[in-house]
Amino acid sequence: MTKPSKQLKTFPNPKKDRDYEINFDCPEFTYLCPMTGQPDFATIKIHCIPDKLCVELKSLELYLWSYRDEGVFHEDVTNRILDDLMKAIDPKFIEVTGDYYVRSGIRTVVNTKYEKSK
């Protein structure tokens, strides 16, 4: 049986001599509101230019799933996703955007990014 996991698996970049972009669109991200414990929803968008490693898709799915029962603030979880991906694949560039569903009449979008120094 497949279970959520915080482990991000990687594989060697098949074209490390070329810069190219990878985009992941995860429209079913679920987590808990840390204030009410109620489920909340978001679309997580990940845009990266890999260096030596790429993230394996199934492990990314299980990683995002691991937040389903965790109470987290929008700002924290978006930055945690960025930090964990940076540690796993050390990309040339990565941007994570959390587009959070309306809560109390307010829609929140959190954008965080990192770029390696050249």
Q: Which of 69, 21, 18 is nearest to 46 (CA)?
A: 21
Instruction: Exactly one of 19, 25, 26, 33 is catalytic; name it.
Output: 33
- The span from the CA of 72 to the CA of 82, in Å, is 15
DSSP state of 53: E
* 19 among known catalytic residues: no
User: 11 is written with which tokens?
Assistant: 């594989």
Q: Active site includes 33?
A: yes
H-helix segments, 14-103: 57-65, 74-89
Q: Which is catalytic among the residues 19, 25, 40, 48?
A: 40
List, by residue number, the catalytic residues: 33, 40
